[in-house]
Structure 1
C-alpha cells in the first residue's frame, strides 16, 4: 500500500534533501507543490514516485488539488511573515477540508515554544502557526532540531574566520550549542513523515557542544589548531543587537544573525536531552565532529550556500 507525502515548497534546499530520503522507499509517493515545477531537479521530477502540482502559496484551488489524497503534508516554506503565517494557514485549512490527518509545520531550528512573541522575531510565525493548529482537526507535528550546523561556519554568523582559523564567540565559551545538519534533519523529518503515529512536538539532535569543544573537534579533524576570540558577554551581545535594530530597523540582515546566536546559546531555546532520536534508530545522528569529518576544511565556509545546489 502506497503512503503519500505532500511537500509544500518542494524546490527548497531542505525539501530536496527530504525528497532524496523519502525516495529510498518504494512504497512512498510524493506530491510536490511549488510555483515553478521547472525548478525541481530532474532526478526528482523524473521519478515515477513524484507528482508535481503548480500553484502559489495563496491559490486555494491549487492547494486543495495538492492536498487531496495526501497522508501527511510537510511544509518546507521559507520566506517572509505573510508566507510563513498566512501561507501555512492556507495549507492547514486545506488539510482540514481534504481530511489530511497530519501537518508537519515549517519549524526545525531552536525550541521556539520557549519564546515570547517578539523575542526572536524570525520565529514569531512558528508561534502563530502552532496556536492555529491547536484548533484544527489535522494533527500538528513540530520537529525541533536545535540549530542548523552549516550556517555556523558561514559569513552569516561571522563566528568562523577561515583566513585565520579563528572561532569568535559571545559569552564565556562554555554555552551549549545544539546542532543538526540539514541532511540529518531531513532524515529525521522523513522518518516522522512516514510514521503515521507521530504527532505533537518531536525533538532530535545531531550533537551538543560548546564553541570550545567545536574548536577542539576542528583541530582533531583537520590537524589545524584554531584560535578562540571572545567578542564580549551575552549582555554585551543583547545590548548590541537591540541597538543595531533600533538604529536601523530595516537592515534586518545586519542584526538578525545576532538575535539567532543570542537565543541559540543563552539556554532559553535548548531542545534538551529528552530526545526522540532513539525512536528512529535507522537515522544516525551527525555530531559537530562528524559534520566536520564529512566536509573538507576549505569547503566549510560555503557549506551552507552549497545546500542550494
Structure 2
C-alpha cells in the first residue's frame, strides 16, 4: 500500500538519515517541509519520491499546503523551547485540520513520561507536546530510544579522555545506560512511519539489546571491551557518587544559569543512570525485523581510536 510521509524540519541531520531509509521503500512518497529547500542534498531533492515545500515553523498557510495528503507527519524540529513546543503545537493543529491520521513527535529520548517538569529541563517540551497531542484527533506517536550513543565518547559528556586513555564515571559505573545509535533510531522511525497501525509510545533500545551485559561503557568491566577492540586498557576514574553529581549540576545551574553547556550534560548523565527514565523490558525492538541492532563492539570497531571523540553528532545541527 502506497503511503505519503511528511517530514517537517526536512534539512536537519536526523531528517536526512530518516529520508535515506524511507527512500529504500518504493511505496513511499515523501513531502519535505523546511525554510530553505536548497539545503537538501541533490541526491534527495532530485528523487521522484520527494516533493519539497518551503516555509517556517509558524507559517500556518505553508504548513497546511505541506500537510494536505499526508498519511503521517514526522516532526524533526530541533531548537529552542518556542520551536519545540509552540512550533509543534501549530503543526499538530494543522494535522488535525488536514485530517492527517498520525503525528510522530520530535522525541527520540529517555522515557521522559517518568519525569516531572523541570527535572530534566531540556525534555520539558516533549512532556508538553505529548499532553497537547493527546487532546487532538491526530494520533500521537512517541519514539523513545534511551540516549543517542555517539556523544558518550565526546567532550560533551567528558567520559572518555583520549589524552590519558581514561574512562570517567559517576556513581558505581555499572548503571544501565540504555541507548540507540543515530542510524538505528532513524531506521526504526522509518519503519514506524510506514506502519499505519503504529501509534502511542514505541520503545527501542538497540544498543544494549540483545546483549546481556548492561552498561558496557562506561563501567568497571568496560576496559575489557575497550582492550578487545583497541588493544588498550584504559584506566577508570570515579568522579563521585550519584548524590555528588546531583549537587554539582544544580550548583552550576544556579551559579550561572545562562551558561547552559556547563551543566546540561550533567543533567543528562544523571537522569540517564539514576534509573528513573529506563525504558525497561517492554520494548518494540523485534517489531521491525529489518532494523538490525548495533552493539557497543560493532560501533567502536567502526571508529579508529583517534577519531572516536569526534564520532558524536552536533546537537544543534
- TM bucket normalised to smaller: over 0.9
Distance of 2:116 and 2:314 partners within structure 1: 33
> What is the rounded CA distance, in whole Å, between the counterparts of 2:130 and 2:190 in structure 1?
20
Indicate the RMSD between aligned Cα atoms, in angstroms: 1.4
Q: State the shift of 1:294 in Å.
A: 2.1
Task: Give the structure 1 partner of residue 200 of structure 2.
Answer: 200
TM-score normalised by the chain length of structure 1: 0.97
- Offset, 1:17: 0.6
* Deviation (angstroms), 1:307: 9.4
| Residue 32 of structure 1, CA deviation | 0.7
The equivalent residue for 1:54 is 54
Alignment: residue pair count: 309
* Alignment counterpart, residue 235 of structure 2, candidates 227, 230, 240: 227
Long gaps (5+) in structure 2: 209-213
Is 1:2–2:2 an aligned residue pair?
Answer: yes
Structure 1 residue 286 corresponds to structure 2 residue 288: no
Q: Distance in 2 between matches of 1:275 and 1:107?
A: 16
Q: Does 1:304 align with 2:306?
A: no
Q: Measure the CA separation in 2 of the matches of 1:238 and 1:119.
A: 11
Where 2:158 maps in the other structure, the secondary structure is: coil
SS at 1:177 equivalent: coil
In 2, Cα distance between the equivalents of 1:222 and 1:243?
37
CA distance in structure 1 between the aligned counterparts of 2:309 and 2:185, rounded to whole angstroms: 20
Residues 1:34 and 1:203: Cα distance change in structure 2 (over 3 Å): same
TM (norm. structure 2) is 0.95
Residues 76-96 of structure 1 show CA distances to partners (whole Å, capped at 9, x for unaligned) of 101000000000001100100
User: Deviations along 1:189-214, whole A, 9 cap, x unmatched?
Assistant: 01100000000000001123322244
Q: Tell me which residue corresponds to 1:65.
A: 65
CA contact (8 A) 2:181 2:207 kept: no
Contact 2:17 2:183 in 1 (8 A): yes
- Residue of structure 2 in register with 1:173 after alignment: 173
- Name the counterpart of 1:276: 284
Q: Aligned residue for 1:247?
A: 255
Report matched runs for 1:257-272 at 5 Å: 257-272=265-280
Deviations 1:249-287 (A, max 9, x none): 111111000000000010001111211011111111112
